[in-house]
Structure formats: structure tokens, C-alpha cells
Structure 1
């Protein structure tokens, strides 16, 4: 991790199409930014952001994902220059390798280490908090920043010299997110408005064939992640397709838009649910209204493992939160 100091120069210019943030993910982003977390990885909720602020941790409240959150805030974005190129040589805190280089070699990714100037990767975990029991190395990480969506991989961790700092990304990801801020190896994005959403499970690992690892272009690498990223986001976090049984308000396939989710119009609610007083509630038929939900991502239809994964009076049945 590099300290945030005055920018000396912009190292590289990265241009790539930003992906539109799906509405269910945007709702989740808003809820996390304005809410709290019940369960933190390792029980640690007082990690540092690198700016002298504590109170951050990696939240495990929602099935299939782990994300960085603070007290009514998200993460910032420090700059990681580790790997092949050292951000053009300006970073004074550079290491020639990244955390999972052994996997890159043994699994035949075609590269020996990541290049922060080319590969978009997120830095998750700290010296005293290993997330390896929750997230697989090189797992997909969706990053919502500057009202845009980008995909990255879990590519590095913070060392003990960084005092358990959180909120860090490769220079190529940072410049995609905030192209007008002059970010470089000594200058990061300080606002706490970045969602790092890491996906759990071996099927979320970005494999050798899921991206163009050998490219020399940051924009090409981002584009090559799109298809796999979309598939994981849909599978793990829910899609915007209509529910398979829209007549049953107890089911929900549009995570973040289930019963109890916040809304502005009926279009923000899953299936036949209607937006009532800013909350997705009863069906348009007016009968059998589903239970309300105050814990976004744990409402009716959300994935679960135990009853604790479901909001309020909902219970976990066959892997889904149900009435």
C-alpha cells in the first residue's frame, strides 16, 4: 500500500467502457452505504482506512459475497503498484510480486505475476485478517465506483507494514474508476464511496481461460473480464429476470428488490411486488402481502445457509429465505 500524498504525475491513461451498475446492485450499494453490518470476518470491525480512520471491516452478512464496509460508509481506494511494473517506478512501497503468483504459475495462467498497470485487481485482507477461508485466491471482485461497475480479481493482500489498512486497488483499476483525479503511485482516492464486492466459492475464481491475462492493455483486460463477471454476478447475487413463480410473493429472484427492499417505483421491485411508502411490499393483486424486510440482501428469496442469514421473521428453507 502506498501513502496518500500530493500527486506528482499521472502515470498512464486508461480508457475503457464502464459497465452499467445493475439496479439490484445499485440498491445493495445504497443500502450498504447507509446501513451497518452484523457479522464481520474474523470479528474485526475496527480496521483502518490508511487515512487515520478506523471502524472498517469485511462484512459477511450476505450469502455468496464478502464486502468492505465502515460505519455508514464504504471503502476508499489506495493505489497498489505491486507486481511487474511498479506504477512506472514512482512508488516507494513496491514489491516485485503479488500474493498468488504461485497459483498463476502452477495453474498455467501464462504470466508469472500480476501487473498493476494492466490487471485490475483488488487488495483484500490484512496482516491480521486472512480472508482465504471465505474467498478463493483470484476470485472475482465487482467494484462499484464513481457510479460505474468494473470487474477485478482478488490479487493481493496487505502486509504487516500497513497496519491493517483497507481499501486498495491496482493502479489500472483506480484510473478506470476515477480517470479525472490524477491517481498514481503516490495519490489515491480518499472518499469512502467504493464498494468492493468479492464472490465466494470456487466457481467465482477467474481462471486462465476467463480473461486475457497476457494482454498488454488495461482496457483489454477489463473487457475480457466482462462475460465471466456478468455470469458470476447473476449467479451469485441474483439477476433481473422475472421470478419463476411470480404469483408467489414468497419467492424472489431479483436480489435487492425483494419484499422489504427500498424503492422509488414499482419497477424497483421484484415480480408482482409494488412500491409502497418507499418499500417493496404487497402484490398488485392486493392479497397475501409478503412479510416486510429490513435487512437488505436477506429478504424473501435471498440465498441463505442458516436462519441467521434471513431478515426478521423469515427462515432459511432449501437455501432461500422464505416466509
Structure 2
């Protein structure tokens, strides 16, 4: 096989976002609440699209440590947010509604960036302001730029609460996060319409993101990775509370979240990274890399005879 024939395939793997498989206890939490169950209804009267009834709501666990969005019999959809820096760049080029700044532009300026960039920052839109009904997450203990976990497309990612809605619409994320969730079909004018996305937002000072996150990251992958030290322990907390203190990995010794030591303890990082969440894909990638290596070796040093 010629190297030129392999290049498109190699590049397609290079562009693939590595994802986290959903731990069983988190999946159990998702299964219990994906039908719209809402233990504590904080505020209702919202909608996933302008032509739908205002039947979406903000929910919380009884201890109010974890908040999310639910429909009457579902979770939320994922519309696209392209606000902030470079709002017309990349896949946001065809966005008809983007604005020049996010709700926390002044806050993130303290971290040395102009504003959040939807093309590389993993963030969600949470809260509704300047309309009725309104929902202000900070009134329920959510710090600005709080860490969140987004379960989507059979995988999960870490994100920050990075913007708010001005009307009654809910269920929205940055274009980079939407692409990681659902692939290249996501654009500034084309999101994910099925209401099967869990936006899990954490409350309390423990959820606050500090300057140590890689705010100046040049890729979605690098920024999302930098959120794991904040989100990992909180996700472990949810799993432990939900499953009898067994954590996200069932108390088998492999659960850790983030240890705060940069992974030096040798424990498995919460949410093992895989390519597409598919073992076969990893074997195929190994085959491709091996084939390229063989081509390079015998191209330079032909087999004798």
C-alpha cells in the first residue's frame, strides 16, 4: 500500500478526539434520570426549541450538590453556542445567532485570555437571564465557571459553565464540545436535536475552576484534559453517593478520579481514554501505524534479492 493512500486514514485518526467511556455507576445514574425524573425541581418553564412547549426544567439531587436540565420525559438536547472569541471562525462560520462575548468574559480575562473560544474551550450554557422565567445558577450554589460533566453520545467529557441564555431556551454547548460528542456534522447552525444529553453541574466552592486549568490551550483536547483534576473527584463523589460509596468503578481499587499528584500514584485516571470508545478502532490504528512503519522500513532498506 502506498503512503499516499494511507495519509487520509492517518489524518482522520489524528483528528479524532479521544473520549472517556462512561463508568457503570454514572451510567446507572443516567438511566434513572434520562426519563425526566426530577428529585428537586428548582425552576420550570423552559424549552429546547422555540416551537416546543415550555416544559423543560432545572433539577437537583435532594442534597442539591448536583444540578442538571430535564424535559418532561427526557434529558436535554444540544444546540450550538459560538459566542465569545473567534465567534465566526471554524465551524461557527454559519452561526446566525452568535454574540461577540460570553457571560464570563471579564472573569476569564484574569486567566490571560480575551474570552472563551467555542472552537477550543469545552463549555456549556447554563442559566437563563433577563427573561421570565429566569434561572440564576449562582443562587443555587453554582460558582461562575463551575466544572461540569456532559454525558453525550455514549461517552462523557468535562466542561465549564461558560455562558448563559438570555431567553427561555436551554440545552446548549460550545461547538468544540458538540463536535466531540456527536462528530463533524455539528456546525454553528446544526446541533443535536435528540433530548438525551446530561449536563451535570456541580455546586459549592469545590466546583470552582482556578487558573491552573489550561485556559490558553490551542485545542479542545488539551483544555478538556486540564479540567479532569477538578471534575474527576466530583464525579467520584456522585458515583459514591449514588452507589453505596463504591465510586465510579465499583470500589475495585481502580477508581481514583484525580489524585492531585499528576497521576504519579499509578491509579487509573477517572474515565479511561479510548478512541471512539471502540476497541476495534485501536487495533485498526495499530495496524495502520504498523503498515506505515513497514512501508518506510522496506522502502529505504529493500528486502535482499
TM-score by length of 1: 0.66
Aligned to 1:77: 78
Q: Gaps spanning 5+ residues in structure 1: where?
A: 1-12, 244-251, 257-266, 272-323
Indicate conservation of the 8 Å contact 1:87/1:117, yes or no: no
Q: Residue 104 in 1 paired to residue 108 in 2?
A: yes
For residue 207 of structure 1, the aligned residue among 206, 210, 217 is 210
Secondary structure of residue in 2 paired with 1:191: strand
Q: Residue 185 in 1 paired to residue 188 in 2?
A: yes
Offset of residue 85 of structure 1: 1.1
C-alpha separation between the residues in 1 aligned to 2:76 and 2:170?
Answer: 7
Q: Which 4+ residue blocks in structure 1 deviate beyond 4 angstroms?
A: none
C-alpha separation between the residues in 1 aligned to 2:173 and 2:233?
Answer: 22
C-alpha separation between the residues in 1 aligned to 2:169 and 2:149?
Answer: 20
Indicate conservation of the 8 Å contact 2:40/2:62, yes or no: no
Aligned to 2:178: 174
Aligned to 2:17: 16
Q: Residue 254 in 1 paired to residue 246 in 2?
A: yes
Aligned to 1:219: 221
Secondary structure of residue in 1 paired with 2:128: coil
Aligned to 2:287: none
Matches for 1:128-147 after TM superposition, within 5 Å: 128-134=134-140, 135-147=142-154
Offset of residue 14 of structure 1: 5.8
Structure richer in helix, relative to its length: 2
Seen in structure 2, the aligned counterparts of structure 1 residues 87 and 142 have a Cα distance that, compared at 3 Å, is farther
Aligned to 1:30: 31
Matches for 1:1-323 after TM superposition, within 5 Å: 15-41=16-42, 44-50=43-49, 52-53=51-52, 54-63=54-63, 64-88=65-89, 89-105=93-109, 108-127=110-129, 128-134=134-140, 135-160=142-167, 164-180=168-184, 182-209=185-212, 211-235=213-237, 237-239=238-240, 252-254=244-246
C-alpha separation between the residues in 2 aligned to 1:23 and 1:91?
Answer: 36
C-alpha separation between the residues in 1 aligned to 2:104 and 2:16?
Answer: 27
TM-superposition CA deviations, 1:98-142 (whole Å, max 9, x none): 11122223xx31212100001010000112221121211100110
Seen in structure 2, the aligned counterparts of structure 1 residues 190 and 87 have a Cα distance that, compared at 3 Å, is farther
Aligned to 1:314: none
Indicate conservation of the 8 Å contact 2:26/2:239, yes or no: no
Q: Gaps spanning 5+ residues in structure 2: where?
A: 1-13, 253-305
Secondary structure of residue in 1 paired with 2:159: strand
TM-superposition CA deviations, 1:202-225 (whole Å, max 9, x none): 11112110x211011112112222
TM-score by length of 2: 0.69
C-alpha separation between the residues in 1 aligned to 2:247 and 2:222?
Answer: 30
Offset of residue 35 of structure 1: 4.8
C-alpha separation between the residues in 2 aligned to 1:78 and 1:17?
Answer: 22
Seen in structure 2, the aligned counterparts of structure 1 residues 85 and 31 have a Cα distance that, compared at 3 Å, is same
TM-superposition CA deviations, 1:194-241 (whole Å, max 9, x none): 0000000011112110x2110111121122222322122123x1349x
Seen in structure 2, the aligned counterparts of structure 1 residues 170 and 14 have a Cα distance that, compared at 3 Å, is farther
Matched residues, number: 229
Offset of residue 87 of structure 1: 4.4
C-alpha separation between the residues in 2 aligned to 1:28 and 1:208?
Answer: 31
Secondary structure of residue in 1 paired with 2:25: helix
Offset of residue 68 of structure 1: 0.6
